[in-house]
A = this chain, B = another copy of it.
Amino acid sequence: MLEVLKQLALMNASKKVLKISSKELADKINQSLQTAARKLKELESDELIERTLTKDGQFIVITEKGKRRLYREYLDYKKIFEEDETITIKGKVFSGVGEGRYYVSLEGYKERFKEKLGFDPYPGTLNLKIPKEQLYFRRRLEEEDGILIEGFKTPDRTFGDVKAFKCKVNGIEGAIVLPKRTHYPSDVLEVIAPVKLRNYGIKDGDFVEVEVCL
């Protein structure tokens, strides 16, 4: 019913009396003539519209009550979309095998993190295991571009591109880092920060919330 009211509003029926047959409306909302006629009747008996039938046809106008109803709806959507684009992922802290520390300590990545993220990372990562019901946003991170941290070469080997997302863990600014071409288990997140996060009351087995800017 609200959908029909909205359609009428999009046809300016809150600003002008609209001439429209139930058939035309049915086509507009992709419903049967019966459905369109019934919905108009409901809108009318709820005083959300006023209808006048003349020999020239059906005339519809949205009442102040109808406009207020639509406005409430508008405010709901505004609330949904006018806040900033951050998501929150929850994960369980665990100890890695020190691989994260190795990579973050490499001069090549270190200087790039500093340039692109604005901080000198503590040499080590906070590893989070993401429970299955939280995996949706973990996958989202794989799809998003994030901040590119370019790879580099040493005489011995090649280090690939990494992407980063600025984030906050328990209010502390940091970044999620993940390889551009993923290969390791996708239920893990690694967080770097300018400080040792484990000094801030975070220990193995804790669940922490990571607020991520996309």
Contacts and interface: CB of A to CB of B under 8 A. Distances in A.
Interface of A: 2-3, 6, 9-10, 14-17, 19, 50, 52, 54, 56, 59, 61, 63-64, 70-71, 73-74, 76-81, 86-90, 131-137, 140
Given A54-B133, A137-B61, A88 B6 contact: no
A140 B15 CA distance: 11
Contacts of A50: 136
Contacts of A52: 132-133, 135
A211 to B, nearest CB: 9
Number of chain copies forming the complex: 2
Contacts of A86: 15
Contacts of A61: 136-137
Contacts of A9: 80
Contact of A63 (B59, B71, B80, B136): B136
Nearest to A17: B134
Contact of A79 (B10, B71, B135): B10
Nearest to A134: B17
The DSSP consensus for interface residues of chain A is helix
A18 B86 CA distance: 15
Contacts of A71: 81
A1 B105 CA distance: 50
Nearest to A132: B52
A61 B132 CA distance: 12
Given A52-B132, A54-B133, A61-B136, A76 B15 contact: no
Contacts of A136: 17, 50, 61, 63
A26 B54 CA distance: 43
A181 B37 CA distance: 38
3 interchain residue pairs of minimum CB distance: A59-B133, A52-B133, A74-B77
